[in-house]
Amino acid sequence: MAHINQNFEKLPGSYLFAEIARRTAEYKEAHPDADIIRLGIGDVTLPLIPAVRQAMHEAVDEQADAATFKGYGPYEGYDFLREAIAEHDFAARGVDVEPNEIFISDGAKSDCGNIVDLFALENKVAVCDPVYPVYVDSNALAGRAGEYDVDAEMWTDIYYMPTTAENGFCPALPLEDVDLIYLCSPNNPTGTVLTHDQLKMWVDYANDHDAIILFDAAYERFITEEGALHSIYEVEGAKSCAIEFRSFSKTAGFTGMRCGCTVIPECLVRQGQSLNEMWMRRQSTKFNGASYIIQKGAAAIYTPEGHRQVEESLDYYRENARVIKEGLEDAGLEVYGAVNSPYVWCKTPGGMDSWTFFGKLLDEAQVVTTPGAGFGPAGEGYIRLTAFGDAEQTKEALRRIKAIL
């Protein structure tokens, strides 16, 4: 008799976005003429830049001729893309990451989920709270999370690190030993960044405890402030304790194209085994490389023209983030994130819970946001707004919010 993985049954339903959709639809039905503006959207909306489209067209044309046709590509990605990433994302910032430490994939989410294959069951996992659900759910499916406590909205074997305004959105070092530590900066959902000193504290902890940091840098390209870190490898000692996930999704509009990469330094070794070699083995066993056409498109963002065009798109989103942040501050709210991130994290007024504030903004301003409680218990008392919408609609949404608060 085939036995199923019973960890699937333990997973709670992912009600957050379904519940938002339900409440929005209910409002729309009661108010058919309402002009609803969605600032909860987590997906990009601007077209792909011309440089990327041109590279993809050229890549498709190459498939017309046996001489330039591409069959199976390297499991770890094409050198042209790995070298471009090493040069522009790392060497240009003075960070030594070699092309053979970079693995191209169909997206950072796949890698964040699949990385758990490398680790034994008995590791203690630490995550920030609030948190991007993939880190938790992928460990829960593997059997590393224990049981789900419905009342606490927490897994019994996961170590949760509250990450709130009270601690400056930097999780405190754990009170018990942890082995796998998920960090995300610029953070989803809070939009805040960890400073060099804060990351150094974690790198030192990981090296001291032979722990591993799983660092999600998916939003690094939104950073505008000098001194904010684009990679954990800007911190001394990180190469012996950290794996970094990077993405073309939000930075180059690739959410529907699927491309990202994972950096595993050659010197990252645990129990005598190279994690770089283990990941290569995992990918060659259970993955067959990312699409050639998509990799060619991704490489085009590293040309001077591609770089300029990407920055134009990012500036559009950055301006939206600024409009949201300043609008909410003008309305008297406490606001975090936004400066180095497409996410704006806003404290609810007067201690209101996040679903109540969500409802108020929908009912009175016809603006859809995301209740912070949906990202974990410590997200209670916040809402998340995103900068991926239309610029005029974003301005209008903030005019309405200011009018009702």
**Binding to its own copies, residues 163-192 (CB under 8 A):** 177, 179-180
Q: Which is nearer to its own copies, 247 or 354 (CB)?
A: 247
Amino acid making up residue 180: L
Q: What is the torsion angle, in degrees rounded to the nearest 10, for the CA atoms of residue 296, residue 299, residue 300 and residue 304? A: -160
Q: Enumerate residues 202-231 that contact its own copies by CB under 8 A.
A: 209-212
CA distance 101 to 19: 41
CB 37, min distance to its own copies, A:
16
The torsion region of residue 169 among left (phi > 0), alpha (psi -120 to 50) and beta comes to left
Q: Which is nearer to its own copies, 299 or 401 (CB)?
A: 299
Residue 141 interacting with its own copies (CB under 8 A): yes
CB 240, min distance to its own copies, A:
12
CB 38, min distance to its own copies, A:
13
Q: Which is nearer to its own copies, 8 or 166 (CB)?
A: 8
Stretch that binds its own copies, among 64-72, 189-197, 354-362, 375-383 (CB under 8 A): 64-72
Q: Which is nearer to its own copies, 251 or 348 (CB)?
A: 251
Residue 68 corresponds to which tokens in the numbers above? 């330039």
Q: Which residues pair with 260 in a beta bridge?
A: 105, 247
Stretch that binds its own copies, among 130-138, 152-160, 187-195, 366-374 (CB under 8 A): 130-138
Q: Which is nearer to its own copies, 269 or 405 (CB)?
A: 269
| DSSP H/E element including 283 | helix 275-286
CA distance 67 to 87: 29
Q: Which is nearer to its own copies, 149 or 277 (CB)?
A: 277
Stretch that binds its own copies, among 45-53, 91-99, 160-168, 197-205 (CB under 8 A): 45-53
Task: Show the binding pattern over residues 246-285: x = contacts its own copies (CB under 8 A), - = does not.
Answer: -------x-xxxx-----------xx-x-x--x--xx-xx
Among positions 29, 30, 35, 64, the unique one binding its own copies when judged by CB under 8 A: 64
Phi, psi of 129 (to 5 degrees): -135, 115
CB 299, min distance to its own copies, A:
15
Phi, psi of 244 (to 5 degrees): -120, 130
CA distance 280 to 114: 12
Total site size for its own copies, rule CB under 8 A: 79
Instruction: Determine contact, residues 367/37, Cβ cutoff 8 Å.
Output: yes
Residue 2 corresponds to which tokens in the numbers above? 């085939």
Q: Which is nearer to its own copies, 106 or 311 (CB)?
A: 106
391-404 and 304-330 helices, crossing angle to 10°: 10
Q: Enumerate residues 2-31 that contact its own copies by CB under 8 A.
A: 2-6, 8-9, 11, 14
* Three-state DSSP state, 148: strand
Q: Enumerate residues 294-313 that contact its own copies by CB under 8 A.
A: 294
- DSSP letter at 132 equals -
Q: Enumerate residues 100-129 that contact its own copies by CB under 8 A.
A: 106-107, 109-110, 113-114, 117-120, 122-123
Phi, psi of 355 (to 5 degrees): -70, -35
Task: Show the binding pattern over residues 312-351: x = contacts its own copies (CB under 8 A), - = does not.
Answer: ----------------------------------------
Task: Write the CB contacts of 142 (distance below 8 Å, at least 6 apart in sequence).
Answer: 7, 116, 121
Amino acid making up residue 85: I
Among positions 25, 60, 92, 404, the unique one binding its own copies when judged by CB under 8 A: 60
CA distance 309 to 401: 32
Q: Which is nearer to its own copies, 254 or 357 (CB)?
A: 254
Q: Which is nearer to its own copies, 59 or 361 (CB)?
A: 59
CB 381, min distance to its own copies, A:
27
Instruction: Determine contact, residues 265/239, Cβ cutoff 8 Å.
Output: yes
Among positions 61, 147, 149, 364, the unique one binding its own copies when judged by CB under 8 A: 61
Q: Which is nearer to its own copies, 286 or 399 (CB)?
A: 286
Task: Please name which of 273, 216, 277 lies closest in space to residue 242, comparing C-alpha atoms.
Answer: 216
CA distance 401 to 90: 41
